Amino acid sequence: MAANYWLSSQNRHWRFTRQQLENIRLETESETRYSRPELGDPRHLRIYFHSLIQSLGRHLSVRQQALATSEIYLARFYVRTSVQETNPYLIIATCVYIACKMEECPQHIRSVVSEAKSLWPDFITHDPTKLAECEFYLIEELDSFLIVHHPYRSLIQLSKALGASGVNVGLSSDEMQTAWSVINDSYITDLPLLYPPHVIALTAIYMSVVLRPPPVAAQAERAKTRLQKIMDWFAGCGIDLEAVVDCAQEMISLYDVWESYSEKTCRELIARVFSGRRG
Amino acid sequence: MEEKARLANGKKKLGVGRRDRYIKERKVGEGTYAVVYLGRQLSTSRVVAIKKIKVGQFKDGLDMSAIREIKFLSELRHENVIELIDVFISSGTSRSLNLVLEYLSADLEMIIKDRSVVFTAADIKSWMRMTFAGLYHCHRHNVLHRDLKPNNLLLSPSGHLKLADFGLARKQPGPYDVMTPTVVTRWYRAPELLLGSKIYTRKVDVWAVGIIFAELMLRTPYLPGQTDLDQLDLTFRALGTPTEQTWPGVSLLPDFFYDTAKTSTADTGKKSGIYPAPSRDEMRMRFSAASENALDLLCKMTTLDPAKRIDTRDALGSEYFRELPRPTQPDLLPKLRKKDDTANEVKVGSNNTGFSGALRRREKDDISTEAEKERERRLAGVAKRLF
């Protein structure tokens, strides 16, 4: 993709500090014409949306990369628009539709609509014009910045660097897998709006290495030296360790919140918001 | 419908300011996917081109070329790439997506065609340098343009050249991602594409620029094939038929059907499509005004084997750009003389608007008048003389 993250629109236009993000959201909320429903922890809703994207993606057999891109679009969209003003199911279908085109694996609008309709019959009509119209709004709302950088590539590069001779602390395939899932889950949080992709990739590595279940006692010592080596390497590459720690905390608290997540509650909540608006 | 009103309303807070910042003054062109207007940015009075994307009543969603154009232009900022100033949705009865692009009054094709314009080796070097600078920027960002030709190289009033029409652009894919070989307007299509290769690199853009380079020196299209097959034949006649020795792997390409084991003489060439590579003297005759360094660069850009073809970086660093004469400063480059209003036409993307113009054959539009037919005849004569 556009090779240089630092010059990209993602860095220049779609990266915030926590404070900025908070302010924009407050402003968005204050302009809503609908009273804010009892959304509970906003992260529950984010988890729900994440699962919606994943299931639509599975039904359409969409590539991981395109799904990741659609998650970013969704996160960006809801920074400036409040959920209760929209039909999230339509927005999600549109995000997936545009992301597929963007990542050069286009899906026909009709197949997106029909899959979405079969998944969420109460919220999606079979008429593709709605989605096509929504596409316009989404592009405008994203300020027409469509190229997105993901942490996956950084993860692969970093793991290569760790495995290189001299460092010799390459990640096992299990650890890679864990890191990969951490990145998948990071899209539920605000991290992609706050940190550059390589920081998220580092966080994923950090978490997969540190949070491993403690190995059997015999290996404990070896694991410890290995961990130390990795941490030294982290420190040596001059990255912002505080940022990594911040990301890791965000992820850990996400997993905490996940414990109390109920898909049913979220589904009903959205349905209530939707029917309340209609009435 | 309710949803629409809601979305529109939600839009108000962000959209209004943006929408009001531009006015459309007059329509200057229409293509399959877009209508182009000459317009103005109200706050600055800057003249802009507004490309309004047509929507088939929202039936099929936005065209891929529109998406690609937005996607790449919003990321690629460079002096030699057309600037996407803004994107907005127009209000009114028919909502539509509008791309606000910088206004560019001419393109390189118009200059090449206009016989009253005289240009020097230094001018050609200047245009080439700007083309390469823009292309290098794209390639550095892993973007393939895939439709380079003189009428996609637009010229600003100050003489700056800008790459335009990113409707076919793509990011450089992974090593195993297949892409369609039917890209680039035929006359500028690289041999690997003509041979049906689905895996190719940014070198296809370099080839196209090489052909444009030749066209600038000849003042007439270098390899104007009539059909795809003819294009292949013309290319090989001009530059020799590739063999496994000169281009390892060529015989495995989908459309390669030459029996290179046969001896190649001028006679058998006609039947088998096998031609010898041109000698240096032959090239010197073809491009009599070119310096040795210019010829070197041209040969490296039009090397048949894409793996051996020069890349944009090395091309920019080549001796040709260092030797005298120095490239002309943009504001001193020859310009079109304003004969009538048509010289003022906005050029955005390919000939008059087209996202669709991307693959359109130029010759189709060209052979419209008697004068053009005459030109085509002369051109065929040139081709005969040359090869």
**Helices A217-236, A241-259: inter-axial angle, 10-degree rounding:** 130
Angle at Cα B309 formed by Cα B304 and Cα B312, nearest 5°? 140
Test mutation, B55, B59, B71, chain A, max A CBs within 10 A:
B71
**Choices 1.10.472.10, 3.90.226.10, 1.20.140.10, 1.10.1740.10: CATH for A151-259:** 1.10.472.10
Note whether A15-147 and A151-259 share their fold: yes
**pTM recorded for the entire structure:** 0.79
The β-bridge partners of B101 are B49, B84
Answer whether B67 sits within 8 Å of A101, measured CB to CB: yes
The β-bridge partners of B154 are B107, B162
Answer whether B140 sits within 8 Å of A3, measured CB to CB: yes
- Say if residues B194 and B173 touch (Cβ distance below 8 Å): no
Euclidean distance between CA atoms B85 and A249, whole angstroms: 39
Q: Is the Cβ of B17 closer than 8 Å to some Cβ of chain A?
A: no
Q: pLDDT tens, position by position, for chain A (279 residues)?
A: 446 787 788 888 888 888 888 888 888 878 776 666 666 678 888 999 999 999 999 999 999 999 999 999 999 999 988 888 889 999 999 999 999 998 888 889 999 999 999 999 888 888 888 888 888 889 888 888 888 999 998 899 888 888 876 777 778 888 888 899 999 999 999 999 999 999 999 999 988 888 776 666 667 777 778 888 888 888 888 888 889 999 999 999 999 888 888 888 888 888 887 776 654
Taking contacts as CB-CB distances below 8 angstroms, the residues of chain B near A131 are 61
Answer whether B62 sits within 8 Å of A1, measured CB to CB: no
Taking contacts as CB-CB distances below 8 angstroms, the residues of chain A near B84 are 144
Taking contacts as CB-CB distances below 8 angstroms, the residues of chain B near A139 are 62, 70, 87, 97
DSSP H or E run through B385: helix B370-386
- Say if residues A171 and A28 touch (Cβ distance below 8 Å): no
Tokens of A206: 């950090």
> How many CB contacts within 8 angstroms connect chain A with chain B?
109
At B354, is the pLDDT very low, low, confident or very high (cuts 50, 70, 90)? Answer: very low
Taking contacts as CB-CB distances below 8 angstroms, the residues of chain B near A135 are 61-62
Nearest-Cα distance to chain A for B77, in Å, is 9
Average pLDDT of the segment spanning B232-252: 91
Beta strand segments in B33-138, E = 34-41, 46-53, 84-90, 96-102, 106-107
Q: Is the Cβ of A146 closer than 8 Å to some Cβ of chain B?
A: yes
AA identity, residue B371: A
Q: Is the Cβ of A79 closer than 8 Å to some Cβ of chain B?
A: no
Residue from the list A80, A101, A136 with its beta carbon closest to the beta carbon of B64: A101
Q: Cα dihedral sign for A164, A165, A168, A172?
A: positive
AA identity, residue B97: L
Residue B305 in this model has a pLDDT that exceeds 90: yes
Euclidean distance between CA atoms B43 and B254, whole angstroms: 55
AA identity, residue B341: D
Domain ranges across chain A: 15-147, 151-259
Q: Is the Cβ of B261 closer than 8 Å to some Cβ of chain A?
A: no
DSSP code per residue over B86-98: EEEEE-SSS-EEE
User: Comparing C-alpha atoms, which of B214, B121, B105 is closest to residue B161?
Assistant: B105
Alpha carbon distance, N-terminus to C-terminus of chain B: 64
Tokens of B315: 């091309």
Average pLDDT of the segment spanning B4-18: 41
Residue of A nearest to B14 (CA): A141
Residue of A nearest to B74 (CA): A145
Euclidean distance between CA atoms B38 and B51, whole angstroms: 9
Answer whether B59 sits within 8 Å of A86, measured CB to CB: no
Q: Is the Cβ of A135 closer than 8 Å to some Cβ of chain B?
A: yes
Q: Is the Cβ of A132 closer than 8 Å to some Cβ of chain B?
A: yes
Euclidean distance between CA atoms B158 and B333, whole angstroms: 9
The β-bridge partners of B155 are B106, B161
Strand, coil or helix: what is B38? strand
- Do the bridges between strand B106-107 and strand B96-102 make them parallel or antiparallel, or are there none, so unpaired? unpaired
Residue from the list B3, B14, B75 with its beta carbon closest to the beta carbon of A2: B75
User: Comparing C-alpha atoms, which of A117, A145, A41, A86 is closest to residue A274?
Assistant: A86
Domains and CATH numbers, chain B: 21-102 (3.30.200.20), 106-386 (1.10.510.10)
Q: Is the Cβ of A264 closer than 8 Å to some Cβ of chain B?
A: no
Q: Which tops the pLDDT comparison, B220 or A211?
A: B220
Q: Which tops the pLDDT comparison, B62 or B387?
A: B62
Tokens of B28: 């200057």
Q: Is the Cβ of B240 closer than 8 Å to some Cβ of chain A?
A: no
Tokens of B345: 């036409």
* Catalytic member of B63, B107, B147, B366: B147
Q: Is the Cβ of B61 closer than 8 Å to some Cβ of chain A?
A: yes
**Choices 3.40.50.300, 3.30.200.20, 1.10.472.10, 3.40.190.10: CATH for A15-147:** 1.10.472.10
The β-bridge partners of B98 are B52, B88
Nearest-Cα distance to chain A for B138, in Å, is 9
Test mutation, B2, B6, B7, chain A, max A CBs within 10 A:
B7
Taking contacts as CB-CB distances below 8 angstroms, the residues of chain B near A33 are 9
Helical H segments across A120-172, by residue range: 128-141, 151-163
Residue of B nearest to A33 (CA): B10
- Say if residues B324 and B124 touch (Cβ distance below 8 Å): no
Euclidean distance between CA atoms B69 and B356, whole angstroms: 12
User: Comparing C-alpha atoms, which of A247, A146, A265, A144 is closest to residue A202?
Assistant: A247
Q: What is the pLDDT of residue A30?
A: 80
CA distances from A96 to A2, A15, A51, A103, A258 (A): 20, 21, 13, 10, 24
Say yes or no: ipTM exceeds 0.85: no
Strand, coil or helix: what is B116? coil
- Which positions ≥6 away from B78 have C-beta within 8 Å? B133, B134, B137
At B368, is the pLDDT very low, low, confident or very high (cuts 50, 70, 90)? Answer: very low
Over the range A148-168, which residues count as b (16 or more CB within 10 Å of their CB) and which as e? bbbbbebbeebbeebeeeeee
Residue from the list B4, B67, B74 with its beta carbon closest to the beta carbon of A145: B74
Test mutation, B62, B94, B137, B178, chain A, max A CBs within 10 A:
B62
B147 classed as catalytic = yes
